[in-house]
Amino acid sequence: MTEIYDVTIIGGGPAGLYAAFYAGLRNMKTKIIEFQSELGGKVRLFPEKKIWDIGGQPPITGDAFIKQLIEQGLTFHPTVHVETKVERIVDQLDGTFHIETNKGTHMSRSVIVAVGGGIIQPQKLQVAGVPKEDVQNMHYVVREFEQFRDQVVLISGGGNTAVDWANELHGIAKEIHVVYRGENLSAHEAQVEQVMKHATVHTQTHITQVHANENTNCIENVTIEQAAGEKIISVDHMIVSHGFDLDQTLQYDVSIPLERIDHAIASTATGKTDMPGIFVAGDIAKYEGKVNLLVGCFQDAVNAVNGAKLHIEPTASHVAMVSSHNDRVQKRMAVEARKNEKSLV
Binding-site residue positions for FAD: 34, 42, 46, 86, 120, 283, 324
Compute the 3-state secondary structure of the chain and give helix, strand, coil in percent, each to the nearest 5. Answer: 25, 30, 45
Exposure pattern of 208-238 as b/e (b: 16+ CB <10 Å)? eebebeeeeebbeebbbbeeeeeeebebbbb
Locate all alpha helices (DSSP H) within 26-76, ordered by sequence: 62-73
Which phi-psi region, left, alpha or beta, contains residue 169 (left: φ > 0; alpha: ψ -120 to 50)? alpha
Name the CA radius of gyration of the chain, rounded: 23
**Parallel, antiparallel, or unpaired: how do β-strands 260-261 and 264-266 relate?**
antiparallel
With H, G, I as helix, E, B as strand and everything else as coil, classify residue 98.
strand
Binding-site residue positions: 34, 42, 46, 86, 120, 283, 324
User: Longest Cα pair distance anywhere in the chain, in angstroms?
Assistant: 73
